């Protein structure tokens, strides 16, 4: 068995692990990064539709979930979105802001991987892909690991950078959680987040004709149980209209923000950015409330349309000027509102108004880790030093990136956490 000695062993060549390796290497540390995948940065490669939403201009602790999102403040400040943008600029990578502060590469996410692997090589970091860790244990002041190829490695510092459980097909494992637990660290409950939500079969059947329809919505979590069918939900719409994308607290323990983004009907339920965002806050048994024409007074618009041309227009046609046509047809059908506007009474119009702007629906689950963009939960932040990501009780052990109980919203926040936490650990490990 060959034996090798390093200052720092980093497990996981994702966003966090590579950033950490660059920083430690630049400090003159002998760094080995191992990853069981064939190539580094696989999630970077597929992110943002192949263009990598690498950060968000507005990143701050309010965009994160976890037992204590404020834990992220120090690292996010010390290596901010602007620091990462500087590196992207220095590497000559062209980028653009798509929406809501989200920055994407103009060309390809591979440019970000190249920037990181080049910087690792320049910093003298050794990268071994296709290599996992068979075992790791405390050895004196440091750690002794046996790699999957049988190599014995000792290192003063060990960095857990192997991410969360999302997308196991891409090599995601619970390794960081298991290893942290083995070293006595507390790990919070983990669950899929930024994930499409699913419906029970009966409801799905009624919604199937809508698969593929996209609509801009305002969505919020609603702990109250719900009536599930759009158009059969007579809740008042007025309170739901046009709530902006801001944090709002509630009697429940978790903050319950409202998100204003696009939603997509799918064959399994609901997806699209708005749904992925709310999925991080949703829990089994809870409902979500959707406004599908945010800021639009649907009742007033339909009444006004009724006054035009003697109310000859079909009600679904009039509604189709407010929401996508297929959705309008489905809402009218479900709400049993048919015929010409002139024939439709005020109560029926109010039902449509509520169906559009106060649809409260109860998902049965999510698509799970198979499609979740991130894992909520992880190594508890009270086990770690917020400046350095070092484990408080195990000298030389560090946890960074998605493995930590810090989870960002959709929109580049998760990569920024990976860069910031990796950078912070890289200053000392």
State the Cα–Cα distance between residues 345 and 399, nearest whole angstrom. 61
Residue 94 CB, nearest distance to ligand FDA (Å)? Answer: 17
- Cα distance between residue 177 and residue 160, in whole Å: 9
**Binding of residue 316 to ligand FDA (CB under 6 A):** no
Residue 140 CA neighbour count, 13 Å, CB half? 7
Give the integer Cα–Cα distance in Å for 239 and 261.
18
Neighbours of 118 (CB within 10 A): 12
Q: What are 142's two structure tokens?
A: 């440091």
Strands (E), 333-396: 359-361, 365-366, 374-376
3-state secondary structure of 326: helix
Pairing of strands 197-198, 287-291: unpaired
- By the rule CB under 6 A, 161 interacts with ligand FDA: yes
Under rule CB under 6 A, residue 167 binds ligand FDA: yes
Note whether 53 binds ligand FDA by CB under 6 A: yes
What residues numbered 73-112 form the site for ligand FDA, per CB under 6 A?
A: none
289 vs 407, beta carbon nearer ligand FDA: 407
The yes or no reply on residue 389 touching ligand FDA (CB under 6 A) is no
Q: Which residues of 381-390 are buried (b: 16+ CB within 10 A; e: fewer)?
A: bebbbbebbb
Taking the CA atoms of 183, 185, 189 and 192 in sequence, report the sign of the dihedral they define: negative
Among 6, 10, 47, 271, binds ligand FDA (CB under 6 A): 47
Among 359, 415, 419, 423, binds ligand FDA (CB under 6 A): 415
Which segment (43-51, 58-66, 263-271, 319-327) binds ligand FDA by CB under 6 A?
A: 43-51
Which residues are paired to 49 by β-bridges? Answer: none
**113 lies in the binding site for ligand FDA (CB under 6 A):** no
* CA atoms lying within 13 Å on the CB side of residue 318: 28
Of positions 412, 423, 424, 426, contacts ligand FDA by CB under 6 A:
412
Task: Please report whether residue 373 would count as binding ligand FDA according to CB under 6 A.
Answer: yes
Select from 243, 249, 248, 276 the least CA-distant residue to 262: 276
Q: Which is nearer to ligand FDA, 163 or 320 (CB)?
A: 163
Q: Which of 17, 25, 196, 273 binds ligand FDA (CB under 6 A)?
A: 17
196 scored as a contact of ligand FDA (CB under 6 A): no
* Residue 78: CB minimum distance to ligand FDA, A: 18
- Asked if 337 is part of the footprint of ligand FDA (rule: CB under 6 A), the reply reads no
Residue 191 found at the interface with ligand FDA (CB under 6 A) = no
9 binds ligand FDA (CB under 6 A): no
The torsion angles phi and psi of 185, rounded to 5 degrees, stand at: -85, 145
Q: Which residues bind ligand FDA (CB under 6 A)?
A: 11-17, 34-37, 42-43, 46-48, 52-53, 132-133, 161-163, 166-167, 171-173, 175, 373-374, 401-402, 412-415, 418
């Amino acid at each position: 068995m060959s034996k090798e000695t390093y200052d720092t062993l980093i497990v996981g060549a994702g966003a966090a692990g590579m950033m950490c390796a660059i920083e430690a290497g630049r400090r003159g540390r002998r760094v080995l990064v191992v990853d069981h995948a064939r190539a580094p940065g696989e999630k970077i490669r597929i992110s943002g539709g192949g263009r990598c939403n690498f950060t968000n201009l507005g990143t701050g602790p309010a965009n994160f979930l976890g037992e204590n999102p404020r834990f992220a403040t120090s690292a996010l400040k010390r290596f901010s979105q602007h620091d990462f943008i500087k590196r992207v600029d220095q590497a000559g990578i062209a980028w653009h802001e798509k929406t809501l502060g989200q920055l994407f590469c103009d060309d390809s996410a591979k440019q970000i991987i190249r920037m990181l692997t080049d910087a690792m090589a320049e910093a003298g970091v050794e990268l071994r892909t296709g290599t996992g860790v068979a075992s790791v244990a405390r050895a004196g002041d440091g750690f002794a690991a046996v790699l999957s190829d049988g190599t014995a490695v000792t290192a003063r510092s060990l960095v857990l950078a192997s991410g969360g459980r999302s997308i196991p097909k891409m090599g995601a494992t619970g390794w960081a959680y298991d290893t942290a637990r083995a070293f006595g660290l507390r790990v919070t409950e983990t669950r899929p987040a930024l994930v499409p939500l699913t419906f029970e079969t009966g409801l799905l059947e009624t919604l199937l004709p809508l698969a593929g329809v996209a609509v801009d919505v305002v969505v919020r979590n609603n702990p109250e149980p719900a009536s599930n069918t759009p158009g059969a939900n007579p809740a008042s719409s007025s309170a739901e209209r046009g709530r902006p994308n801001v944090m709002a607290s509630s009697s429940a323990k978790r903050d319950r923000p409202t998100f204003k983004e696009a939603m997509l009907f799918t064959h399994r339920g609901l997806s699209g950015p708005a749904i992925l965002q709310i999925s991080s806050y949703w829990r089994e048994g809870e409902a979500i409330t959707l406004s599908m024409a945010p800021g639009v007074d649907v009742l007033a618009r339909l009444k006004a349309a009724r006054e035009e041309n003697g109310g000859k227009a079909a009600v679904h046609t009039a509604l189709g000027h407010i929401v996508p046509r297929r959705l309008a047809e489905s809402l009218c059908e479900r709400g049993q509102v048919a015929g010409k506007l002139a024939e439709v009474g005020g109560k029926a119009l109010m039902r449509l108004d509520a169906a559009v702007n106060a649809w409260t629906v109860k998902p049965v689950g999510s698509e799970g880790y198979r499609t979740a963009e991130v894992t909520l939960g992880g190594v508890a932040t009270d086990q770690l030093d917020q400046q350095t990501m070092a484990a408080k009780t195990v000298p030389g052990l560090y946890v960074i990136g998605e493995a930590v109980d810090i989870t960002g919203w959709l929109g580049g926040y998760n990569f920024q956490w990976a860069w910031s936490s990796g950078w912070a650990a890289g200053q000392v490990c």
